[in-house]
Amino acid sequence: MKIGIIGSGKVGGTVGKRWAAGGHEVVFGSRDPGSAKMKELLEATGGKAKAATLAQAAAAAEVVVLATPWAGTKEALAAAGNLAGKIVIDCTNPLAADLSGLSVAPDTSAGEQVASWAKGARVVKGLSTTGSGNMADPGYGGQRASMFICGEDAGAKKTVGGLMEELGFEVVDCGPLAAARQLEHLALLWVCLAYKLGNGPNIAFRLLRR
């Protein structure tokens, strides 16, 4: 599958390296594809991924992974260009700087805002409720961490779910894109537990069933 990754930080870099190792065609989009940071990331993939501009990475992709800091998300989407018909995995979280809450109104979410900015894209919220360490290895003593996703398009969710399962997650479909309002609070809880309350990043959520 052709995957364009907008954002080369911990989340984008981690999943990009893993999907490239799994045989997917991964292109990292960057405002500066020739930067030292990007060269280092490409070397970490063993030469299995490429770098391009944001627009080039998005145009060539079947799936676009949006892994940007929330403050730069709208600008990054504008630079990526027309995403109509493409699957967009929204990994963003609009966390307040002091972790006191979210920086979007309670009647919306980052996921819904992304869908309004990326006209016609098939947006799925995912890779947003845990840290990049769990994306590198979601296994916990024989159990798999859950990856919660939501979106309007069943076909897009099936594709995204498959990519998450390749990473080793148990996928939980949380329904329509409006469920991103709850998932973004779940992300806030994970960050607070891990960093504000001192549990560290080696923690994960899992949905248990009886």
The closest alpha carbon to 186, from 157, 147, 154, 152, belongs to 147
pTM: 0.96
pLDDT in tens, the chain (210 residues): 999 999 989 999 999 999 999 999 999 999 999 999 999 999 999 999 999 999 999 999 999 999 999 999 999 999 999 999 999 999 999 999 999 999 999 999 999 999 999 999 999 999 999 999 999 999 999 999 999 999 999 999 999 999 999 999 999 999 999 999 999 999 999 999 999 999 999 999 999 999
